[in-house]
Amino acid sequence: MWTLIRYPEKADWKNWLKRPDSDAARIRQRVEEILSSVRAKGDKALLELTAELDGVHLDRLALAVPDPKTIARRLPAGLLQAIDLAMANIRKFHEAQLTDTVEVETMPGIRCWQKSLPIESVGLYIPGGSAPLFSTLMMLAVPARIAGCRQLVVCSPPMPDGQLHPALLYVAGVCEIPVIYRVGGAQAIAAMAWGTETIPRVDKIFGPGNRYVTMAKQLLQQEGIAIDMPAGPSEVAVLGDSSCPPEFAAADLLSQAEHGPDSQVILVSTDESWIQAVEAALHTQLSALPRQEIAAHALSHSKAFLMKDEEQAIELLNAYAPEHLILACRNAHTLANKILHAGSVFIGQYAPESVGDYASGTNHTLPTAGYARAWSGVHLDSFRKKISFQELTLEGLRAIGPAVETLALAEGLQAHQQAVAIRLQYTKNSC
């Protein structure tokens, strides 16, 4: 089912912690072909690619979002209540991230401040394919609205009948999104980056996706298109011990494995018998999953690590930098303080990763493939930009001017020095 690595030497960690082979060269070539087609043919290319890749023939891309009260009648009451609860928690967590303007007087007569402003137009990519991830729209649209973004452009691949899941439409309606564009994959990313006859160009693109979507985002970033982060196939790492029922850990691992065949799950423990118990629970639970074939494929390139102690286990996990990290062990709180690299951390045996995916309030759009070493998950400031301001009185310029002149001349930038000197000389002569 997976590879068990007993007491790996640190020199070998890099090889053991590799993500599944992505066949990057082939994916890049295909994505470049898709990008070129969209750039050249716009909407026509999007319709052709939707027919070719999704098997759905559309006559138009845009789908108007009905009033949420109308869509609500098509959803089970329990699902509606769950969506509303999740959105309330997401809203509460992200509203808490709102900050006031930062202002400071660095010297007498020199006042500096920083102001947060919303990014005007953002593109939200909502994966579909084998599972309609309307939860991702909650995670992106709610903070975008809190941040004050004026335009939310949403793209999501259609279902086989050409429609979109009613829960996706409901969330869009609640978030006051008037239209969703029925297009997925790398072609959707290209459309939002450049704009087409139908889909507006945006200033920044958000949303997870498969390797093709991630490659498209990375290639377009090289052209100056802002993206949230590289967010490819999903992954989870679980650090556990006998204090956690093995069935819990198995369920957490499968919750990520079922995302897609290129997902990866990692189990880490200092107790080999517990690892074996988790593997047995995996077999039992996997056999009952509707998506067992997908999950089994993901498990085939996943790994379990038996480590000599918790310190080494934490060091290994920091080297892996997982998207999701579950600490299902006795001293989880203490160990959580030692985590340096992770997208989102779940503490204790009663914090399943799926709670963060849906409803606790934290954002589930997170860096994968080790990018958690340098990237954060989506948060409120992802949808905002910060502008700095400064205002100087004559007193302030006289106080700081000589230092600026000295620094500018030391770098050989005389015009910089002159911009200060001319003001000081002018005010001296006018006195």
324 is catalytic: yes
Do 226 and 149 form a contact (C-beta atoms < 8 A)?
no
- 16 with 40, same domain: the answer is no
The predicted pLDDT at position 210 comes to 87
Residues 194 and 214 in one domain: yes
Residue 21 pLDDT = 73
pLDDT of residue 428: 81
Q: Tell whether 112 and 191 lie within a shared domain.
A: yes
Q: Which of 369, 368, 349, 351 is nearest to 360 (CA)?
A: 351
Which of 244, 220, 217 minimizes the C-alpha distance to 231? 217
| Together in a domain, 299 and 407 | no
79 and 205 both lie in a single domain: yes
Q: Tens of pLDDT along 197-226?
A: 999 999 999 999 888 999 999 999 999 999
Domain shared by 210 and 65, yes or no: yes
Q: What is the pLDDT of residue 230?
A: 83
Q: What's residue 262's pLDDT?
A: 87
Examine the domain organization and report whether 181 and 285 are in the same domain: no
> Rounded to two decimals, what is the model's pTM?
0.93
Among the listed residues 324, 353, 364, 405, the single catalytic one is 324
45 Cβ contact partners less than 8 Å away, ≥ 6 residues apart: 37, 38, 187
User: Residue 416 sits in which domain range?
Assistant: 395-430
Would you say residue 369 lies in a domain?
no
Q: Decide if 169 contacts 83 (C-beta within 8 A).
A: no
- Domain co-membership, 95 together with 149: yes
pLDDT value of position 431: 62
247 is catalytic: no
On whether 243 is known to bind a ligand per the annotation, the reply is: no
Do 254 and 225 fall into the same domain?
Answer: no
Residues of the chain with pLDDT under 70: 22, 129-131, 431
Residues in contact with 215: Cβ distance below 8 Å, sequence separation at least 6, in sequence order: 24, 27, 28, 31, 186
Give the number of domains in the chain: 3
Same domain, 200 and 319: no
Query: Is 259 labeled as ligand-binding?
Result: yes
The catalytic residue among 235, 323, 353, 405 is 323
The answer to the question of whether 379 is labelled as a binding residue is no
pLDDT tens-digit readout, 70-101: 999 999 999 999 999 999 999 999 999 998 88
CATH number of domain containing 259: 3.40.50.1980
